Amino acid sequence: MFQDRLQAQLLPALLAGFQERFASAPDAKAVGFQPTRPEFEGDVTINVFPFLKISGKGPEQTATALGEYLVQHVAAVDRFNVVKGFLNIVISDAYWIGFLREAGGRDILAFPPTGGGKVMVEYASPNTNKPLHLGHLRNIFLGHSVSRILQAAGHEVVKVQVVNDRGIHICKSMVAWRKFGQGETPESSGLKGDKLVGKYYVAFDKAYKEEVAVLVAAGTVEEEAAKQAPVLLEAQEMLRKWEANDPEVRALWEQMNGWVYAGFNATYARAGVDFDKNYYESNTYVLGKEDVLKGLEKGVFFRKPDGSVWVDNTAEGLDEKVLLRADGTSLYITQDIGTAIKRVEEFPGLSRMIYTVGNEQDYHFKVLFLILRKLGFAWADGLFHLSYGMVDLPSGKMKSREGTVVDADDLIEEMVAEARATGEQLSKLDGFSEQEKTALFEMIGLAALKYYLLKVDPKKRMLFDPKASIDLQGHTGPFIQYTCARINSLLRKAGELPAPAGQQPSGNRQLLPEERIVIKLLHQFPAVLHEAAAKLEPSALANHAYELVKAYNTFYQSVPVLKEEEEALRAMRLALSAAVAAATKKAMWCLGIEVPERM
């Protein structure tokens, strides 16, 4: 359990207080510290109701006795109040000032590693028959941010993606290109490779529907027409040839996949995400069969009369699941079993695997993890499905094969254009070269997109609003960037003034309310980062960063930092500003967002 520096002082004193006042103390793990609710005076609240059996007293008597003990024995505790069974502790201004003084010389977001060894995070996992779209972006930014948060928490992180580069959907694009493409390439068309291949995926769907309509008009039942369309039969035949290693089909497959990989890599590079290893389904689809057969021998699985192999998960509240068909061929669940086993073999010491996949696959991962546990793999307890909701737009749900998806590249370009329009309208770019403007707008546009997608709890379905995401005064990435740039400007101006004499403000000084709230939010940052790492929720960190910069802006508007005549006080407020900038910059790094020096 993570404890911040304040809890590390309060907990032993609290346990000692129990022992002295009530002759017994609770388990340390049972004691919880919470931020005091805004309507009450206090900084830290302790609920004493769970400990009334130990005290033998009423809730108010118990809380009062403990509060009195803490005031006497912990220098950081200034006073307390009791609301029913809740002990609200007021921390002294001297403690907050001391914390700020220490924060100036260390990483304010640093805390001991949470343990757990090496962690693998899987995200992206696109198909090579179409370009990336908005739904992919939520997946990619979520997985990449989780990997950085875990890294900041002290874990060794391995970032991977599974590239779905085989199957009937891939062959559909190949058939359409061969029928209609006339040798078109990314170079001849001027299209990114993934967009070119996606164009032919849409072309296949159009041709398929036309052929089905012709068959139906000729009297074929629609259900049969859907199976007999010539272009679909071509795709099925191409898949058979691919599986038989037909040289011509394999050459076309490699050529078109190569176009897609180049396109994906360009999008990844612009979005600022990367991977340590790629797994290709064309390699992994053969995995898992031997592992299933071993499980069959051990009695973990069973064979039905038709020869197919199944697992019975009904005792765990799930269904029976087929793992090998009657003809011995594998399914997706089979290769996922084999891939998980292979990863643990390839990365010794791997203790956790996190799968960033949409919530439509919730059941699949419940079954996968249960099967791996039944096979006796202890590491299966470290598997986690980072499930997330769909992203909607005002225009509705996206459909890839109909060509109505929101293309990732187009969306990024739109966000950058919005950033440019907003920046030029505000006319605050004097002194920026055109090259610097271009880099700035790129940074702001990506921040708007990433932050808007990450500030929402991953489990929730969300509506993405491009215009709202760019608002410099709203709950947005650009607003946080702008605050950091404002602080950088303040610190540059301070550097042009006579240097403070180096005194520190007295510990007896009373903080202004605006200062106090900012320092408290800074103090909470390590615990928030720990929570985000433990729960795999970047939204916790994103929202705390926003609350911090919002509080700082209130402070900035109320307190004229550079006009303060008392040098020690001015130095403290500059240190406070610098700490906010440093903490926010690191929080944004955890979200995969760059922060410009000036805006």
User: Is a pLDDT exceeding 70 seen at residue 104?
Assistant: no
Structure confidence at residue 402 as a pLDDT band (50, 70, 90): very low
Give the pLDDT confidence score for residue 108 in this predicted structure. 63
Token pair recorded at residue 417: 């254009």
Bin 234: left if φ > 0, else alpha if -120 < ψ < 50, else beta: alpha
Give the pLDDT confidence score for residue 509 in this predicted structure. 77
User: Is a pLDDT exceeding 50 seen at residue 122?
Assistant: yes
User: Is a pLDDT exceeding 60 seen at residue 114?
Assistant: no
- Kindly list the domain boundaries of the chain, sorted by start residue: 5-91, 167-274, 409-590
Residue bearing the bigger pLDDT, 403 or 482: 482
CATH 3.40.50.300 applies to domain 409-590: no
Give the pLDDT confidence score for residue 400 in this predicted structure. 42
Token pair recorded at residue 89: 């502790």
Give the pLDDT confidence score for residue 566 in this predicted structure. 87
The stretch 8-16 carries a mean pLDDT of 95
User: Is a pLDDT exceeding 90 seen at residue 5?
Assistant: no
8 Å CB contact between 84 and 28: no
User: Is a pLDDT exceeding 50 seen at residue 230?
Assistant: yes
Give the pLDDT confidence score for residue 508 in this predicted structure. 65
Beta bridge partners of 321: 311
Residues 6 or more apart whose CB falls under 8 angstroms from that of 51 comprise: 18, 26, 30, 62
User: Is a pLDDT exceeding 50 seen at residue 94?
Assistant: yes
Q: Which of 583, 584, 591 is nearest to 454 (CA)?
A: 591
For 347-399, what is each residue's pLDDT tens digit? 999 999 999 999 999 999 999 999 999 999 999 999 999 999 998 876 654 44
CATH 3.50.50.60 applies to domain 5-91: no
The stretch 266-280 carries a mean pLDDT of 97
Structure confidence at residue 4 as a pLDDT band (50, 70, 90): confident
Give the pLDDT confidence score for residue 428 in this predicted structure. 73
Average pLDDT for the chain: 92
Report d(CA 598, CA 486) in Å as an integer. Answer: 7
User: Is a pLDDT exceeding 90 seen at residue 487?
Assistant: yes
- Tokens 């643990």 belong to 344
> What are the residue ranges of helices labelled H in 455-500?
466-469, 477-495
User: Is a pLDDT exceeding 90 seen at residue 189?
Assistant: yes
Q: How many CA atoms lie within 13 A of 495 on its CB side?
A: 7
Structure confidence at residue 146 as a pLDDT band (50, 70, 90): very high
Give the pLDDT confidence score for residue 481 in this predicted structure. 96
Report d(CA 597, CA 599) in Å as an integer. Answer: 7
